[in-house]
């Protein structure tokens, strides 16, 4: 096995992509949160593996941040929010599950077709990793677009973020400052989202974002 | 210190002056000091530019400043063409500043004018020495914005607001077109310095597209029909010395942009059809511009429409130069280019002079409507005299400068049978006929403008009590008037002066001027074919004029004549019974107005016995608005109404739209790689 390190990183990135697909069709709230936690844990493993093969110590910090924040703190907090708000019923999908999955497959193919020709000169990990990361980003966007529930939109955003981190660590030379600031901005975004969830539920008795639309002032 | 360094120093000084004017008090003395300094700096810039034109000998000076875009820098270049336009800009700047010493103190809110005046001068200078696309467009926008601020100086007037909006839209449109033109010129790898652009290879369709974009972009700034609509709105709205700058100078900077792109950057990569649109649009602009002008009774608006006409004449010259140049007929190209450049210079002189004169009239009477003026030659004799000189010059009558450049244009037109293409052979004489017609109409128009404003009796009390303007303003007008005369009687000096710029553009020049008979003859092709000697014409005119005067006074005046009494011996009391601008131009309106402007006259005559007053009204519609801009506006309004629902989508819908756009772009990347 000449290139076992690259294979392992591909394997981990592939698992993250699979979890993204799982997020895409998972209709239950708690299930969604659990899958997201799994994705974050696998992400931290992938980042740690990158740190090992690139011999870059600061990536371990990124891995720890990903594990603690996205793998434990955020899912737990969302878990509590969902339980407190009493919204553990099923999620309504806008498009049917089959169509969504097909779109997800299409996006993955698109990501590969975009990334591969651009990185023809590159060798080793970067090429496939970037394609995987890009697919994860697109799937995160797809989740945000297809779901109407605010919690699942947050999950979509966070999973998009995971894709970004995967892409960033795959490329060599990403400074630590950038990653830490990104991690913190995600955390702050999470606080804002959480706060808004409470306020929305409190005021409108629903967190279906489409229902909020009728309260907009500038409607004709 | 090289000439370019002198120029750049002067520009920095102008910017300092603009900053300085923000902090000074707005007392009369300060305003005078400001305009004085501005005049001095402009003089310095002018002196710096003259040797660069006369002794350039094909070696441009260049300079690269390490500011601006990091991979482009800021390139400056001073070649013969830039130097020529620097002279045009700074001569105008000098004269308007000098005029401003006297006129500028009347401004109600000087702080709305002072900072932008110097910045505007600086911007126009920057445009003509810029040597990369980024610097050029930045300076161009700087010029547009500062002039827009000057137009908006009287911003509470609803007319001004409309003018400002129109100008702003057209300026943005023009810059956008130039942006595309430079984008194509620079090519995919983006060499934005002009040096790199000259070396680029263009795609086959590139020449045509760039010519169209340059016509739209530079043409909208210069005032080509039908993009001229902002000119007659914006130029009169500004204070008069600024109107003079905008009309006399800024339109020339726009033409500089056109020349630089079409003759220098694109070079020989335009097909033989290239001159056709330039000639047609130029001729249409000249004719329609002067017809518009004839319909006006607002003095400054009339002058603005005349700018449109003269821009048309200049573009005819440029089109001819391109036609000859492409076909390798360098002698004809040299004559046409000389005519165009000389007309650019001449027009900057007499249009500045006329606008300054109109500013004096406006200040003295508070009126721009010439139907409320009249008899001013008694109250303001010097202004009237200078305005008359400007009128004669713009009407292309000898011995003034306007005649020389239009005569040269006609010489180039007469050489058109040498052109090999049949289309051009037929087109150019037709353009010549249009040019002749518009020259005659221009003379008509200025007979009207001068006659109604300065002759006859005063129509209003303000016109009757007007006072002559101050000495500074008169000095500025006098210098411009003298220059108009000098170029008219010594055209060879001017033609030799702009020789290097012509040589740079069409790599040929006029034959050596002056022949064995008279040293000061202007000879476009050869002395056997045609020549013009301003001094002889001047001498003849003086001689003939004074002899006629003497003859009449000696033989006619003393003899008592008897004839039928005029108006039954009691001329009407009211000054309103004199010819007005509308009645003077009625014949022209009846001939052309019906077709071009849809002019409809309506006479409401009371029946015999009725005591009410009769009414006469004329309704006209502007073809540029009626056929192009109003439909365009309506289309825009309908489209925005259709798209209005996009304001009220849900967040998820917006996300979906963005997502869809991203996916489509990615697919395009995949497909078209």
- Cβ separation A209–B666 shorter than 8 A: no
Structure tokens at B461: 């009390």
| Mutation choice for A interface testing from B646, B656, B662, B668 by most A CBs within 10 A | B656
- Cβ separation B648–A218 shorter than 8 A: yes
Which residues, other chains included, contact B435 with Cβ-Cβ below 8 Å and sequence gap of 6+? B283, B286, B313, B316, B406, B409, B410, B413
- The span from the CA of B294 to the CA of B305, in Å, is 9
Average pLDDT over residues B624-644: 90
Q: CA nearest B652 in A: which residue?
A: A145
Whole-number average pLDDT of chain B = 88
Nearest Cα neighbor of B580 from B380, B391, B370 is: B370
Nearest Cα neighbor of B170 from B283, B246, B68 is: B246
Query: Residue B184: what are its φ and ψ, rounded to 5°?
Result: -70, -40
Average pLDDT over residues B453-462: 88
Residue B259 included in any domain: yes
- The span from the CA of B431 to the CA of B320, in Å, is 10
Which of 176-205 (B) contact A at CB < 8 A?
Answer: none
Binding-site residues on chain A for chain B (CB distance < 8 A): 107, 110, 113-114, 117, 138, 141-142, 144-145, 148, 153, 209-210, 212-213, 216, 218-220
- Cβ separation A210–B652 shorter than 8 A: yes
**Is the ipTM reported for this complex over the cut 0.90?**
no
Question: Residue A35 belongs to what domain range?
Answer: 4-215
The structural domain count of chain B equals: 2
CA atoms within 13 A of residue B335's CA, in its CB half-sphere: 27
CA atoms within 13 A of residue A21's CA, in its CB half-sphere: 17
- The span from the CA of B424 to the CA of B417, in Å, is 9
- Cβ separation A117–B673 shorter than 8 A: yes
- Cβ separation A114–B655 shorter than 8 A: no
Pick A144's closest partner by Cβ from B655, B667, B673: B655
Residue B268 included in any domain: yes
Residues of B in contact with A216 (CB under 8 A): 648
Q: In the prediction, which pLDDT does B58 show?
A: 64
- The span from the CA of B333 to the CA of B312, in Å, is 18
Q: In the prediction, which pLDDT does A1 show?
A: 46
| N- to C-terminal Cα separation, chain B | 51
- Cβ separation B670–A216 shorter than 8 A: no
Average pLDDT over residues A188-197: 72
Provide the pLDDT confidence category of residue A212 given band limits of 50, 70 and 90.
Answer: low
* Per-residue pLDDT at A31 exceeds 90: no
Residues of B in contact with A110 (CB under 8 A): 663, 666-667, 670
Say which DSSP state A69 is in. I
Last residue of a domain, which of B452, B473, B506?
A: B506
Residues of A in contact with B670 (CB under 8 A): 110, 113-114, 117
- pLDDT tens for B351-364 read 999 999 999 999 99
- pLDDT tens for B387-416 read 999 999 999 998 899 999 999 999 999 988
- Cβ separation A107–B663 shorter than 8 A: yes
Q: CA nearest B669 in A: which residue?
A: A114
Residues of B in contact with A113 (CB under 8 A): 670
* Per-residue pLDDT at B605 exceeds 90: no
- The span from the CA of B583 to the CA of B512, in Å, is 49
Residue B436 included in any domain: yes
Residue A153 included in any domain: yes
Pick B663's closest partner by Cβ from A110, A144, A219: A110
Say which DSSP state B607 is in. P
- Cβ separation A114–B670 shorter than 8 A: yes
Same domain membership, residue B304 and residue B445: yes
- Cβ separation B650–A107 shorter than 8 A: no
Residue A220 included in any domain: no
* Least confident segment among A86-95, B127-136, B256-265, B571-580: A86-95
Q: How far apart are the CA of A60 and the nearest CA of chain B, in angstroms? A: 33
Residues of B in contact with A209 (CB under 8 A): 650-652
Q: How far apart are the CA of B656 and the nearest CA of chain A, in angstroms? A: 5
Provide the pLDDT confidence category of residue A220 given band limits of 50, 70 and 90.
Answer: very low
Q: Which residue has the higher pLDDT, B410 or B621?
A: B410
Q: In the prediction, which pLDDT does B108 show?
A: 80
3-state secondary structure B612-645: CCCEEEEECCCHHHHHHHHHHHHHHHHHHHHHHH
| Chain A to chain B Cβ contacts (< 8 Å) | 38
Q: CA nearest A110 in B: which residue?
A: B667
Q: Which residue has the higher pLDDT, B388 or B648?
A: B388
Q: In the prediction, which pLDDT does A206 show?
A: 67
- Cβ separation B673–A218 shorter than 8 A: no
Average pLDDT over residues B50-60: 78
Provide the pLDDT confidence category of residue A77 given band limits of 50, 70 and 90.
Answer: confident
Q: How far apart are the CA of B642 and the nearest CA of chain A, in angstroms? A: 14
Phi-psi region of B616 (alpha: psi -120 to 50; beta: other; left: phi over 0): beta
Which residues, other chains included, contact B154 with Cβ-Cβ below 8 Å and sequence gap of 6+? B108, B112, B160, B237, B239
- Confirm or reject contact between B659 and chain A (CB < 8 A): yes
Provide the pLDDT confidence category of residue B72 given band limits of 50, 70 and 90.
Answer: confident
Provide the pLDDT confidence category of residue B168 given band limits of 50, 70 and 90.
Answer: very high
Which of 587-646 (B) contact A at CB < 8 A?
Answer: 644
- pLDDT tens for B267-287 read 777 888 889 999 999 999 999
- The span from the CA of B141 to the CA of B254, in Å, is 12
- Confirm or reject contact between B668 and chain A (CB < 8 A): no
* Per-residue pLDDT at A8 exceeds 70: yes
The structural domain count of chain A equals: 1
Residues of A in contact with B656 (CB under 8 A): 145
Q: In the prediction, which pLDDT does A123 show?
A: 58
The CA–CA distances, whole Å, from A212 to A84, A202, B22, B428, B664 equal 21, 13, 51, 68, 29
- Cβ separation A213–B670 shorter than 8 A: no
Q: In the prediction, which pLDDT does A90 show?
A: 59
User: Quick one: what percent of chain B has pLDDT higher than 70?
Assistant: 98
- Confirm or reject contact between B673 and chain A (CB < 8 A): yes
Average pLDDT over residues B558-579: 76
Residues of A in contact with B673 (CB under 8 A): 117
- The span from the CA of A36 to the CA of A162, in Å, is 10
* Least confident segment among A80-89, B21-30, B186-195, B591-600: A80-89
The alpha carbon dihedral of B162, B22, B88, B12 has a sign of: negative
Question: Residue B667 belongs to what domain range?
Answer: 623-671
């Amino acid at each position: 096995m000449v290139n076992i390190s690259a294979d392992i990183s591909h394997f981990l990135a592939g698992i993250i992509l699979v979890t993204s697909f799982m997020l895409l069709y998972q209709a239950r709230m708690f299930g969604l949160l659990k899958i997201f936690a799994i994705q974050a844990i696998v992400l931290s493993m992938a980042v740690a593996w990158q740190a090992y093969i690139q011999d870059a110590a600061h990536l371990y910090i990124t891995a720890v941040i990903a594990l603690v924040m996205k793998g434990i703190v955020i899912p737990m907090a969302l878990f509590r929010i969902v339980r407190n708000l009493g919204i553990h019923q099923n999620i309504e999908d806008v498009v049917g599950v089959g169509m969504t999955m097909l779109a997800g497959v299409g996006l993955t193919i698109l990501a590969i077709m975009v990334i591969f020709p651009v990185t023809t000169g590159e060798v080793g990990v970067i090429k496939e990793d970037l394609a995987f990361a890009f697919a994860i980003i697109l799937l995160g966007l797809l989740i945000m677009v297809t779901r109407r529930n605010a919690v699942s939109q947050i999950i979509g955003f966070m999973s998009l973020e995971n894709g970004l981190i995967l892409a960033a660590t795959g490329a060599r030379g990403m400074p630590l400052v950038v990653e830490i600031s990104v991690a913190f901005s995600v955390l702050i975004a999470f606080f804002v989202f959480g706060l808004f969830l409470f306020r929305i539920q409190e005021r409108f008795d629903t967190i279906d974002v489409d229902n909020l639309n009728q309260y907009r002032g500038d409607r004709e | 210190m090289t000439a370019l360094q002198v120029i750049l120093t002067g520009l920095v000084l102008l910017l300092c002056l603009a900053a300085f004017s923000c902090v000074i008090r707005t007392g009369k003395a300060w305003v005078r000091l400001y305009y004085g300094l501005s005049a001095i700096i402009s003089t310095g810039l002018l002196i710096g530019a003259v040797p660069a034109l006369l002794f350039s000998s094909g070696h441009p000076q260049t300079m690269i400043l390490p500011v601006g875009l990091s991979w482009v820098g800021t390139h400056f270049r001073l070649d013969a063409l830039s130097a020529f336009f620097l002279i045009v800009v700074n001569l105008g700047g000098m004269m308007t500043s000098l005029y401003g010493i006297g006129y500028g103190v009347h401004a109600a809110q000087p702080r709305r004018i002072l900072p932008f005046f110097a910045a505007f001068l600086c911007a126009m200078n920057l445009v003509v020495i810029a040597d990369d696309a980024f610097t050029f467009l930045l300076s161009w926008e700087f010029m547009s914005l500062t002039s827009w601020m000057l137009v908006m100086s009287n911003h509470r007037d609803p007319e001004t607001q409309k003018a400002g909006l129109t100008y702003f839209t057209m300026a943005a449109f023009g810059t956008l077109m130039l942006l595309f033109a430079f984008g194509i010129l620079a090519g995919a790898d983006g060499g934005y310095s002009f040096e790199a652009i000259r070396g680029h290879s263009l795609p086959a369709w590139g020449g045509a597209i760039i010519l169209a974009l340059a016509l739209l972009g530079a043409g909208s700034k210069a005032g080509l029909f039908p993009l001229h609509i902002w000119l007659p709105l914006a130029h009169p709205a500004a204070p008069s010395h600024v109107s003079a700058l905008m009309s006399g100078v800024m339109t020339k900077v726009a033409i500089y942009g056109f020349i630089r792109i079409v003759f220098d950057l694109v070079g020989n990569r335009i097909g033989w059809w290239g001159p056709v649109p330039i000639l047609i649009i130029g001729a249409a602009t000249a004719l329609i511009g002067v017809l518009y002008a004839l319909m006006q009774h607002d003095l400054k608006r009339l002058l603005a429409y005349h700018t449109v006409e003269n821009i048309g004449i200049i573009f005819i010259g440029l089109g001819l130069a391109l036609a000859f140049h492409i076909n390798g007929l360098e002698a004809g190209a040299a004559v046409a280019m000389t005519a165009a450049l000389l007309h650019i210079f001449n027009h900057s002189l007499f249009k500045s002079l006329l606008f300054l004169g109109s500013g004096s009239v406006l200040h003295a009477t508070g009126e721009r409507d010439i139907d409320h003026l009249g008899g001013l030659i008694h109250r303001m004799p010097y202004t009237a005299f200078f305005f008359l000189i400007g009128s004669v010059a713009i009407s292309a009558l000898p011995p003034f400068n306007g005649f020389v450049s239009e005569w040269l244009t006609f010489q180039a037109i007469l050489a058109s049978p040498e052109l090999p293409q049949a289309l051009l052979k037929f087109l150019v004489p037709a353009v010549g006929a249009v040019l002749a017609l518009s020259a005659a109409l221009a003379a008509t128009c200025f007979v009207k403008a001068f006659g109604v404003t300065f002759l006859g009796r005063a129509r209003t009390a303000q016109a009757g009590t007007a006072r002559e303007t101050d000495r500074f303003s008169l000095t500025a007008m006098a210098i411009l008037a003298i220059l108009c005369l000098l170029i008219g009687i010594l055209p060879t000096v001017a033609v030799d002066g702009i020789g290097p710029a012509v040589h740079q553009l069409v790599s040929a020049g006029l034959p050596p001027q002056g022949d064995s008979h008279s040293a000061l003859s202007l000879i476009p092709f050869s002395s056997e074919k045609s020549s013009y000697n301003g001094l002889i014409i001047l001498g003849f005119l003086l001689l003939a004029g004074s002899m006629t005067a003497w003859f009449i006074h000696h033989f006619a005046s003393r003899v008592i004549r008897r004839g039928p009494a005029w108006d039954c011996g009691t001329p009407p009391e009211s000054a309103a019974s004199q010819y007005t601008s509308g009645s003077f131009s009625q014949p022209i309106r009846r001939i052309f107005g019906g077709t071009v402007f849809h002019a409809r006259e309506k006479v409401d005559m009371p029946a015999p016995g009725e005591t009410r007053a009769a009414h006469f009204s004329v309704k006209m519609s502007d073809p540029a608005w009626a056929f192009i801009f109003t439909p365009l506006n309506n289309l825009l309004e309908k489209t925005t109404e259709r798209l209005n629902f996009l304001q009220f989508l849900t967040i998820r819908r917006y996300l979906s739209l963005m997502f869809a756009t991203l996916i489509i772009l990615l697919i395009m990347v995949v497909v078209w790689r």
